[in-house]
Structure 1
Amino acid sequence: MSNDSIRITVVGVGRMGFSHARLLHRLGFLDSIVEPDNATAERVSLKFKVPSFSTIEELASERKPNGVIVAVPTNIHSKVALEVVSHLPSLKGLLIEKPVASSVEQALELKSKIHGKNIKTIVGHVEVFNPVISSIIEILDKGVIGEPRSVLFQRRGAVAEARLDSIGDVYEDIGVHDFDVAMRLLPRGKLKLFSSALTLNNVGNSSIIVLTSQEGEFIVTFLMSREFAGKLRTIDIEGTKATLCANLLTQILELRSLEIARGDKEVSAIRIPFSNGEQIKVYGEPLLSELWNLVDCIRGDGEPLVTIDDGINALKLVEATRKSIETGKVIELDV
């Protein structure tokens, strides 16, 4: 399939949907938009010179997109995705912004409806497309830091109170990114989770979450906040040989030898795969990479990097976090 055959519709052109539309327009893949707010629809339609529709039904009556991005408010992700799947038989690729649904139950229903329709579906955990993550996985696979024992995720920033109703609590809004990454870095299976949180307008807005294996081989700590004056996204992984520090914003990784830190070895004695304390820089635009993954799926020569099952596993951690906060207890789960 040639690039000229790629026709992608963005459903919902608010904050995130507009970013998708802007990049798709630049790539030449934007076919149309669906937006119920007339003023927003007119503004975006004129800017990118594409037709706009107020409903999926109107879109289906006039266009035949082979790709759709669902970027509507969080609480209707699965509902709109189901409408898209049922009304657009031409669909080959579907990108659903995070979270894939408001609950595991909704996500499982969506998965069952898509099954057998030959629609390759991506969930918008865009951090997975950050080249820092693939670099971390490569370093872990090579055994460079030894066995991972402790991981600290920090994802902190600020969000206007007016947006809280449309984006949900901090766990489903930003937590799903780190939940997904954690499942890619560490062994899956039976886990234990405990969490505590602060609320704003009765919405979980800042939280610390501790996740461990049943046998205690590793511990993962998630520190997430939408009340931080600044922007911080880091992953620190402590292994039996070394510590790996990664900054997801600057896309810089640093390896620190544990033996050298303890004073057991001379600094000049290490090169795994770069010198102790040396920083390496990786390059990539996660959102653009995510869109190219969608294009590859539409063409039929690619597979989703973030699947519905990945979205479901992230939601399991979201629901376990909420349950722990509500009950004040440690929650056991299997992912």
Structure 2
Amino acid sequence: MTTRRCVRIAVAGSGLIGQEHVRRIAENPETELSAIVDPAPAARDVADRHGVPLFGSVAELFAAQRPDGVILASPNRFHVPGGLECIAAGVPVLVEKPIAETADDGERLVAAAEAAGIPLLVGHHRRHSPLLAEARRIIGEGGLGAVVAVVGTALFRKPDDYFDAGPWRKQPGGGPILINLIHEADGLRALCGEIVRVQATASNTARGFEVEDTVAMTLTFANGALGTFMLSDAAAAVASWEQTSRENPAYSNADDQDCYLIAGTRGSLGIPTMRLRTYAGSASWWEPFESRVAAVARHDPLAAQLAHFAAVVRGEAEPLVTGRDGLQSLRVVQAVLEAARTGGVVDVAPSVQPVPPARTPAASTQN
């Protein structure tokens, strides 16, 4: 039996998500932590605890060693410069979401990676969720017919000390559109194909901050499907992926609730309960549905993402979430911001390599 090469990975950023990556590297027998990169004084404890060297910058890392891969879990503003340094060094890189602060900056990073032929992955870890994968399979195999409507929610209540600990979250750039919606945009694109047009209305009434706390959106998909989405970090509700999927035990959980409903011409699927309702015969509101819960073998999406990154580094797999994928999800979020600011309809700039719709039957756009 052939033993796989152990992949040495450096983690840039020793905050909450960085430490989650570090823990999973330690737990995976096919990966090894090579270094921590972080100028913050607290990073010393993380590096010492894992017995690896600490560097103050990515440049210092590459001056001292060449890891097989780098995970960039640093603050957003460092994603592009850190990613460019990895690409220049010829080292595959997994960049935490969002890929960049702006689409123009993200395009620079993606173009550099494509020109150099260096793997660039984006940390949209829900793509590695077995729930999302099974939902995508059901939709893609035509289990719902042609998708016509999408209803989504990300409604949760962030505590007051969340904003006290990071006052920047009360200011433009710190609202739930930029912090939270990127996950939803990427997940819905994976399920239903490209989002090509958005409308949005935002409010800051609940908290009174400079930045929004609640947003209502309408979405148009390239395949003709329409969607609505409600986002709020001030809503006392259990209607978000974090609180319904059971994939992060840190959150209070309600496993009988859905945050997405995907409806097609022959059936509908609630996610993440995976309650599937389809017509056995004629598709009519007079006919009863056949109902079942789609079985899902659960695993940790972050651990699966790490294993996938290691496989990409070894040349055994192609990136599941490419830099261009991450860039397109960022474009959707920026379109929502613009729509909320202007009150108008905003078209989403097309991706060079669009995500194919997760369905096979031909959709009709006729009424």
Deviates more, 1:121-130 or 1:228-237: 228-237
Residue 169 of structure 1 aligns with an amino acid whose one-letter code is G
> How far 1:115 moved relative to its partner?
2.4
Matches within 5 A, 1:165-244: 165=168, 168-188=174-194, 191-199=196-204, 201-213=209-221, 217-229=224-236, 232-233=240-241, 234-244=259-269
Q: Which residue in the other structure is 2:359 paired with? A: none
Q: Larger helix proportion, structure 1 or 2?
A: 1
In structure 2, relative to structure 1, the CA distance for the partners of 1:187 and 1:124 (3 Å cut) is closer
CA distance in 1, matches of 2:225, 2:126: 22
Q: Which residue in the other structure is 1:246 paired with? A: 271
Contact 1:235/1:245, CA 8 A, preserved across alignment: yes
Residue 197 of structure 2 aligns with an amino acid whose one-letter code is K
> How far 1:229 moved relative to its partner?
4.1
Structure 1 residue 82 and structure 2 residue 84: aligned? yes
**Pairing partner for 2:40 from 27, 37, 42:** 37
In structure 2, relative to structure 1, the CA distance for the partners of 1:256 and 1:156 (3 Å cut) is same
> How far 1:164 moved relative to its partner?
6.3
Q: Which residue in the other structure is 2:156 paired with? A: 157
Task: Give SS of 1:13's match.
Answer: coil
> How far 1:75 moved relative to its partner?
2.8
CA distance in 2, matches of 1:62, 1:101: 27
Contact 2:193/2:222, CA 8 A, preserved across alignment: no
How much identity, in percent, do the aligned residues show? 25
In structure 2, relative to structure 1, the CA distance for the partners of 1:264 and 1:253 (3 Å cut) is same
CA distance in 2, matches of 1:18, 1:155: 25
Q: Which residue in the other structure is 2:276 paired with? A: 255
CA distance in 2, matches of 1:230, 1:3: 45
Q: Which residue in the other structure is 1:56 paired with? A: 58
Matches within 5 A, 1:66-81: 66-81=68-83
CA distance in 1, matches of 2:288, 2:229: 33
Contact 1:128/1:177, CA 8 A, preserved across alignment: no
What's the C-alpha RMSD, in Å, of the aligned pairs? 2.6
Task: Give SS of 1:96's match.
Answer: strand
CA distance in 2, matches of 1:241, 1:294: 37
Deviates more, 1:254-263 or 1:119-128: 254-263
Q: Which segments of 5 or more consecutive residues in structure 2 lack a partner in the other structure?
A: 242-258, 351-367
Contact 1:36/1:54, CA 8 A, preserved across alignment: yes
Task: Give SS of 2:213's match.
Answer: strand
Q: For residues 131-169 of structure 1, what are the alpha-carbon distances to aligned partners after superposition, in whole Å with 9 as ceiling and x for unaligned? A: 111111111122221111111122233441134637843
Deviates more, 1:305-314 or 1:153-162: 153-162
CA distance in 2, matches of 1:187, 1:279: 21
CA distance in 2, matches of 1:174, 1:137: 21
Task: Give SS of 1:212's match.
Answer: strand
In structure 2, relative to structure 1, the CA distance for the partners of 1:289 and 1:254 (3 Å cut) is same
> How far 1:240 moved relative to its partner?
1.5
Structure 1 residue 265 and structure 2 residue 267: aligned? no
Task: Give SS of 1:33's match.
Answer: strand
> How far 1:314 moved relative to its partner?
0.8
Q: For residues 223-244 of structure 1, what are the alpha-carbon distances to aligned partners after superposition, in whole Å with 9 as ceiling and x for unaligned? A: 2222244652221111111110
Matches within 5 A, 1:317-332: 317-332=332-347
CA distance in 2, matches of 1:157, 1:4: 42
Q: Which residue in the other structure is 1:114 paired with? A: 113
CA distance in 2, matches of 1:55, 1:187: 37
> How far 1:198 moved relative to its partner?
2.9
Contact 1:240/1:258, CA 8 A, preserved across alignment: no
Q: Larger strand proportion, structure 1 or 2?
A: 1
Q: For residues 237-294 of structure 1, what are the alpha-carbon distances to aligned partners after superposition, in whole Å with 9 as ceiling and x for unaligned? A: 11111110011xxxx3111236899763356xx4xxxxx1445343121111111111
Q: Which segments of 5 or more consecutive residues in structure 1 lack a partner in the other structure?
A: 271-275
In structure 2, relative to structure 1, the CA distance for the partners of 1:263 and 1:334 (3 Å cut) is same
In structure 2, relative to structure 1, the CA distance for the partners of 1:168 and 1:291 (3 Å cut) is farther
Residue 325 of structure 1 aligns with an amino acid whose one-letter code is A
Residue 240 of structure 1 aligns with an amino acid whose one-letter code is T
